[in-house]
Amino acid sequence: MGEIEGIYTIWLREMKRFLRYRSRIVTSIVTPLLWLIIFGTGLGASIRFGGIPGGYRAFIYPGIIGQTILFTSIFSGVSVIIDRQYGFLKEILVAPISRPSIVLGKALGISTASMIQTTILLLLSFLVGVIMTPACFLATMILSLIISMGFGGLGLLIAAFTDSMEGFNLIMSFIVLPIFLLSGALFPITGLPGWLQGAVYMNPLTYGVDALRYTILHRSVFPLGISMILITIFALVMVFAASFIFNTKEQSLM
Amino acid sequence: MGYIIETEKITKKYDDFTAVNKVDLEIPEEDIYAILGPNGAGKTTLISMLCTIIKPTSGTAKVNGYNITKEPEKVRASIGIVFQSRALDDMLTGREHLEMHAALYGVPKNIRQKRIEEVLELIALGEKADEYVKTYSGGMKRRLEIGRGLIHHPKVLFLDEPTLGLDPQTRESIWKYIKQLNREEKVTVLLTTHYMEEADKLCDHVAIMNKGQIIKADTPQNLKRELKADTIKVKTENPKEFAEKIQELPGVKEAYNTGNMIKLMVERGENLIPQIVNFATQHNFQIKSVELEHPTLEDVFIKYTGTGITET
């Protein structure tokens, strides 16, 4: 009981913060729209992209949703660094509640934020000419939850090893952007040069985007089941690893 | 009355540096107890070990009857902590901080609202309780942190430098508030400070800490009384020689040179001043000024550590 209430409390705080930073919500919606409308239309006009109704713009639509989940999740996880600088992390860490509950509450909060953003983006599906059914919507939300748990966990892990927000640019250049670019969000992942193919297949987001493409556009490279299993494993590993690190590094986090 | 905190040779080492060195401390129930010492004396390290935030290198302690290394969860449930540095979320309101804390510390739901109202009244945030913390003044933030530490009715409240960086007025009101809590809520308060006045006015007992060790612990009155003394400050040329010579004068218990003046520990200082002046003239010392002071904790501190607290 106490632990569940603890998880809920941490989740609630995460939600309040998310909803109170209005500018963050606005950017998290505007950025993907810029990608879709400008990048999607621009590049879509210069390449032939057959096979999908809606063309290239429709093709990157699930990819951009994946990107939004990735960015929101990692940065929300990394925001623990700010909690640490403001000292608020201490207040949470000295409470009589287990470290895994703290990590889980945080990860669930991040997932909820991602799902809210996914919902908004799915409501805009008419912009790219994709038809949304309730079943597609539901399946996409489940994927959004799993993917964001994984990357939220990764963000928390990174935060546990980073002392200040000065590392932010490093995280952006060396972790977030490569994960995004190597995920097949912007290009098909078949028929790539060997080195690129290898890197793409190593990337957990590849399977997230591929699964999203299945639920939204009904086409994918991997079977949905395989992608689901892989992203679920990734989510579990990240949340467990973050819990473990928060447990062992507890003292240096305060 | 029993002791609510007992430490046994508790020690914390960081590589070669010993932050806390074999400290034995006994803190009576319902006491307001200060650990007084300069920055870097090891106060925060000691208190952090008692709060189970960091683990001791050796030795142990009991808080509210629970062993800090073996039963940290139980210790945490019986204490409230106010950190030296701020630990608030700017984007939450004061009330939300209290609600969150009550939930994390398992305050039963049916009494939670009542507790929050009580604490809000106590810390007198007024209408600000429902505004974001970023709009609060320094004193309000501190009061909120102290109030938050009380929501779950802890047995012991740890306050690490509770009035650091606050203006004198706010400081006075925080003292008043701590006293009131101690009296009304029967909570033991352990605080660290480097303000002599704070330890003197507020606390039932004071432990003087320097370089990782507790040098002396007693009531402020006893500590001062034990100096047996008023202090006479004398400014003169050749202070070093004078400090040695003046000890020959009956009634002067101790004399030491603090650099720009000599401090004499005497009894009934007002009677001794003429004799000191005469003595100086006889021995050809030029006295520039004489000042009489009744003892303060600062003097106690200097006696036991050899340095002033503010200079270190």
Nearest to B184 by CA among B65, B77, B32: B32
β pairing state of B66-67 and B58-63: antiparallel
Enumerate the domain spans of chain A. Answer: 2-253
Q: Which residues of A touch B55 (CB under 8 A)?
A: 251
The strands making up B262-266's β-sheet, listed across from edge to edge, are: B252-257, B262-266, B230-236, B287-293
B66 touches chain A (CB under 8 A): no
A231 vs A99, residue with greater confidence: A231
Residue B211 has pLDDT above 80, yes or no: yes
CA distance B89 to chain A (A): 6
d(CA B252, CA B255): 7
CB-based contact (8 Å) between A240 and chain B?
A: no
Return the minimum-mean-pLDDT range out of A31-45, A141-155, A211-225, B213-227: B213-227
pLDDT at B312 (0 to 100)? 38
Among A238-252, B180-194, B256-270, the range scoring the smallest mean pLDDT is B256-270
pLDDT band for position A127 (50/70/90)?
Answer: confident
Average pLDDT, integer, range A35-40 = 92
Q: Distance from B206 to chain A by nearest Cα, in Å?
A: 26
Instruction: Give residue A102's pLDDT band: very low, low, confident or very high (50, 70, 90).
Output: very high
**What is the residue whose two structure tokens read 């929501």?**
B151
Whole-number pLDDT of residue B144: 92
Spatial separation of the C-alpha atoms in residues B228 and B250, rounded to whole Å: 15
For residue A155, pLDDT over 50 is answered with yes
Closest residue, chain A, to B76 (C-alpha): A96
Model-level pTM? 0.81
pLDDT range class, residue B311, cuts 50, 70, 90? very low
The 10s digit of each residue's pLDDT in B123-154 is 888 889 999 999 998 888 988 998 898 888 89
Q: What is the mean pLDDT of residues A231-248?
A: 95
For residue A26, give every residue at least 6 positions away whose Cβ sits within 8 Å of its Cβ, in sequence order, or none: none
Angle at B221 between CA B310 and CA B11, to 5 degrees: 60
Packed helices B168-184 and B109-123: angle between N→C axes, nearest 10 degrees: 140
Q: How many CA atoms lie within 13 A of A32 on its CB side?
A: 32
CB contact under 8 A, A97 and B104: yes
* Residue bearing the bigger pLDDT, A158 or B254: A158
Kind and range of the H or E element at B26? strand B17-28
Q: Any residues with CB less than 8 A from the CB of B282 and at least 6 apart, and which?
A: none
> Which pair of structure tokens corresponds to residue A111?
């997932």
CA distance A137 to A115: 11
Sheet with strand B205-210: strands edge to edge: B79-82, B156-160, B188-193, B32-36, B205-210, B213-218
> CA of B193: how far to CAs of A97, A99, B10, B162, B286, in Å?
29, 31, 20, 8, 39
Cβ–Cβ contact A109 with B under 8 A: no
Question: Edge-to-edge, what's the strand order for the sheet holding B58-63?
Answer: B17-28, B3-14, B58-63, B66-67
User: How does the average pLDDT of chain A come out, rounded?
Assistant: 91
Best mutation site among A9, A21, A91, A99 for testing chain B: the one with the most B CBs within 10 Å? A91
Measure the CA–CA gap between B266 and B252, rounded to whole angstroms.
5
Closest residue of B to A87, CA-based? Answer: B87
Task: Return the structure tokens found at A165.
Answer: 């927000």
Selected residue with higher pLDDT from B101 and A251: B101
Q: Which residue has the higher pLDDT, B245 or B51?
A: B51
Question: What would the mean pLDDT of B46-74 be, rounded to a whole number?
Answer: 91
Interior CA angle at B15 toward B12 and B21, to 5°?
Answer: 30
CATH topology match: B3-224 vs B228-294: no
The full set of domain ranges for chain B reads: 3-224, 228-294
Top pLDDT among A8 and B52 is at A8
The yes-or-no verdict on residue A94 having pLDDT over 70 is yes
A249 interfaces chain B, CB cutoff of 8 Å: no
Residues in A touching B89 (Cβ below 8 Å): 13, 17, 83, 86, 88
Beta strands in B29-135 (DSSP E): 32-36, 58-63, 66-67, 79-82
Summarised one tens digit per residue, pLDDT across range A57-89 is 899 999 999 999 999 999 999 889 888 888 888
Region of poorest pLDDT, from A93-107, B94-108, B293-307? B293-307
For A203, which DSSP code? -
Higher-scoring residue by pLDDT: B13, B268: B13
Q: What's residue B309's pLDDT?
A: 58
**If you average pLDDT over residues B50-63, what whole number do you get?**
91
Give the pLDDT of residue B270.
77
Q: What is the mean pLDDT of chain B?
A: 87
| DSSP conformation letters of B207-248 | EEEETTEEEEEE-HHHHHHHTT-EEEEEEESSHHHHHHHGGG
**Chain A residue numbers touching B69 (CB-CB < 8 A):** none
CATH superfamily, with its number, for domain B3-224: P-loop containing nucleotide triphosphate hydrolases (3.40.50.300)
Instruction: Return the CATH class of domain B228-294.
Output: alpha beta
User: What does the pLDDT average to over B186-211?
Assistant: 90
Distance, in angstroms, between A97 CA and closest chain B CA? 7
Identify all chain B residues contacting A13, using CB atoms and an 8 Å cutoff: 89, 92, 96, 100
Contact call for B52 and A88, based on CB within 8 A: no
Q: Report percent pLDDT > 70 for chain A.
A: 99
B57: distance to nearest CA of chain A, Å?
A: 13
> How big is chain A by its Cα radius of gyration, in Å?
18
Q: Is A9 on the interface with B (CB under 8 A)?
A: yes
β-pairing, B262-266 vs B230-236, is antiparallel
At residue A73, the pLDDT reads 95
Phi, psi of B124 (to 5 degrees): 50, 55
- Banded pLDDT at B166 (limits 50, 70, 90): confident
Query: Phi/psi at A9 (nearest 5 deg)?
Result: -65, -45
Least confident of B80-84, B145-149, B265-269: B265-269
Scanning B129-168 for CB atoms below 8 A from A yields 148
Chain A, chain B: beta-carbon pairs less than 8 Å apart: 66
% chain B with pLDDT above 90 = 35
- Residue B248 sits at the vertex; the CA angle it makes with B244 and B249, to the nearest 5 degrees, is 120
